[in-house]
Amino acid sequence: MAARDSQDRGGKPLGLARLEQDSTPSLIARQLREAIASGQFAPGQQLLETSLAQTLGVSRGPLREAMQRLTQEGLLISHRNRGLFVMDLDEATVRDTYLARSAVERAAVEHLIDRGRNGEAVVLIELAGRMEEFRGDPSSDDVSLLDLAFHEKLVELSGSPQLQRMHRTLLTQVRMCLTNMQATYESIDHRVKEHRMLADAIIAGDAERAVTLLREHMDDGMRRLLGDGSV
């Protein structure tokens, strides 16, 4: 008896439907993530399905599917009989986000140094230096994007696909945090110094110092988000 082929006589895989490269719900979800990350939708804000559908020029079906995806990602929170709301940056959420972020980035720092890739971290110095271009506007969105790019590159340098995947799942929440702490920077100097010191420790292969600086950097971020309370 001949083995069953995975394709039908027309050459198409059996039981599989053709996929669109980018479905409408995917495009909508991407726009909503960007709006949440950039602060266009504030933490805790309610999203109204009808007005969103009108604004985006889409039907409510794909919009509902997109919003469901963001609910599964934790970016939208469903309150029974009230609707969908952007996740709030309350103390518990901030602490949990930074707990996860710190764990991933610490592992990345230690792994890239263990692998002897610390010399490649010179690119982090360049990213930190580019923040100085915004000396006249330390609360600029562009500074936050460079901040995020610095940490993305740090994790990328680890060479670990799993750490990179884990970090990507946190990016929207991290960017929300960076967006909401922008106004706390009166000068660019502190932000640049923190990133340069961390990069220098990584380049030097000093894992202990790099991890300490990373922890202090994360603690500073939490303080800015939570106010002057203790971390």
Walk along the chain (231 residues) in steps of 10 and give the mean pLDDT of each run: 50 52 82 92 93 91 94 92 92 95 98 94 95 90 94 97 96 93 91 96 97 97 80 47
Residue 19: predicted pLDDT: 43
Residue 230: predicted pLDDT: 43
Integer Cα distance of 97 and 89 in angstroms = 9
- With b for 16 or more beta-carbon neighbours within 10 A and e for fewer, the 118-145 pattern comes to bebbeebbebbeebeebeeebebeebbe
Residue 139: predicted pLDDT: 86
Q: Full-prediction pTM beyond 0.85? A: no
State which amino acid sits at residue 15.
G
| Residue 41 burial (C-beta neighbours within 10 Å; 0-12, 13-18, 19+) | buried
